[in-house]
Amino acid sequence: MIRIGNQTSYGAPSPAEPFDYAVANGFDAFEWFPDKKPGVGWDESDLTQAQRQKIRETAKEKGIRLSVHAPWQANPLHREASELLRKDIELATDLGAVLLNIHLYHEAGLERFVTAITPLIRQTAESGLQLSIENTPDHSPEQFNDVFTRLHASTSSPLKHVGMCLDLGHANLSGATRNNYLGFIDRLDRVVPIVHLHLHENWGDGDTHLTLFTGPAGRDDSGIRAFIERIQKRNFSGSIIFEQWPQPPSLLNQARDRLLGWLKVDAKPSIRTNKGSDISSTRTGAVGTPRPTSSAVVGRGVPTASQRASDPARSTFLELLVEGDKRYCNLPAFLIGRTNRLC
C-alpha cells in the first residue's frame, strides 16, 4: 500500500512540529531526518527515550509508516560514519520505523561504495529495516543500474530489503536526464527496485525542493501523472515523502490529495500533454513549462551541474547543500515565514 507523508525540517521550530502536523492532517507516512546545523535543526540526541516511545505509540495508533533519513555526513566510505549509521539504526528501531535511507556516494567508485555498505546491509536486515539508496543531482540512472548489479554479484548478504529511493527533484537535475525525470525512471533497469520516493519540484536550475504542484507541475501536471503510471507499473508500494516544510503547510495537503486522486483511480492516468501530444516521446520535467517571469525561489537553491561546471570549487553535492543553506538565509523574511530562524 502506497503511503504519503512529509518530513522533519531544520527550518521548523522543533522536529515535532511537522510530525504533529502529519498526525493532525491524516498523513500516513512520515520521515525523520536528523539534519543539525549550527544553531538550527536537530539530531538523535535531541529525542529522549520518552519522546521516542511517544512517537512510536502515536505512529502505531494513527497508522503512520515511519522512515529515517541518515544525515548527509553519514558517508559509508568514511570510517567515522559507522557510528552515525549505528545511531540512525537505533533511532529507527526506537521509533518503530521500517526504513533507513542513505545517499549514494560515488567519489571513490561504485565498487568501493558497494563494499562499504555491505555491513550496513547486514545490520539493517538484522534490525528488520529496509535500506534505500537515494540518487542526488550528481547521479545517473546507469550508476544505479551498476550499483544493484554489483550488489547482486558481490555480496552474500540478503538483499530483499535493499532498494532505491528515487528522488524526483534530483532526477530532474541529473546531467544525464536534465529536465526529464521520466527519462531517468525509464532508464532504470528492473534489477533496481524502487522502495521509497522523495517528491519535490524544481525548474531545472537548482535543487529548490518546491512543493509538488507549485513548480512546473502547477502549470502542467502531465509529467507527474506519467510518473505515477510508471511507479504503479513497477508495483511500487512504499512511502511517498514530501521533502519540504512549506508556508503554508496546507500546500502539503493539496499535493497529497491530488496524488491520491490519481492513485485511487482504476484506469490508467491520462498522460496527454496540454497540446494533446503523447508524453512518452517528449522530455518531461521543467522543459516545455514556461517559468514565471517573477518567481521567488524558496528552498535550497542549489545550482545544477552545468551551472557549476565553470566553478570547480563547488564540485560536490554536500558542498552544494551548504551553499544552498546560505542562500536560503538571505531570502526575505516574508518568504521564509519567520525571521532569522535558520541563520
Q: What gap in Å lies between CA 75 and CA 78, rounded to an integer? A: 6
What would the grid cell of residue 254 be? 493539496
Per-residue pLDDT in tens (0 to 9) along the chain, 343 residues: 999 999 999 889 888 999 999 999 999 999 999 988 888 889 999 999 999 999 999 999 999 999 999 999 999 999 999 999 999 999 999 999 999 999 999 999 999 999 999 999 999 999 999 999 999 999 999 999 999 999 999 877 789 999 999 999 999 999 999 999 999 999 999 999 999 999 999 999 999 999 999 999 999 999 999 999 999 999 999 999 999 999 999 999 999 999 999 997 643 434 443 433 344 444 555 555 666 654 443 444 344 444 444 444 444 545 545 444 444 444 443 333 333 333 4
DSSP code string of 301-317: -PPPHHHHTT-TTS-SH
- At residue 243's C-alpha, the angle toward residues 68 and 175, to 5°, is 105
DSSP H or E run through 125: helix 110-126
The dihedral over CA atoms of 314, 213, 104, 319, expressed in degrees to the nearest 10, equals: 20
Q: What gap in Å lies between CA 91 and CA 111, rounded to an integer? A: 28
Residue 167 main-chain phi, psi, to 5 deg: -95, 110
Domain spanning 3-296: which superfamily? Answer: Divalent-metal-dependent TIM barrel enzymes (3.20.20.150)
DSSP code string of 270-328: P-B-TTS-BGGGS--SSTTSPPPSS----S--PPPHHHHTT-TTS-SHHHHHHHHHHHH
Would you say 324 and 137 are in contact if contact means Cβ atoms under 8 Å apart?
Answer: no
Say whether the peptide bond before residue 248 is cis (omega within 30 degrees of 0).
Answer: yes
Q: Where are the alpha helices (DSSP H) in 140-248?
A: 141-154, 168-173, 181-186, 222-233
Please report, for the chain, the start and end positions of each structural domain, with discontinuous segments joined by +. 3-296
Instruction: Supply the pTM of this predicted model.
Output: 0.82
The predicted structure's pLDDT at residue 289: 66
The predicted structure's pLDDT at residue 293: 54
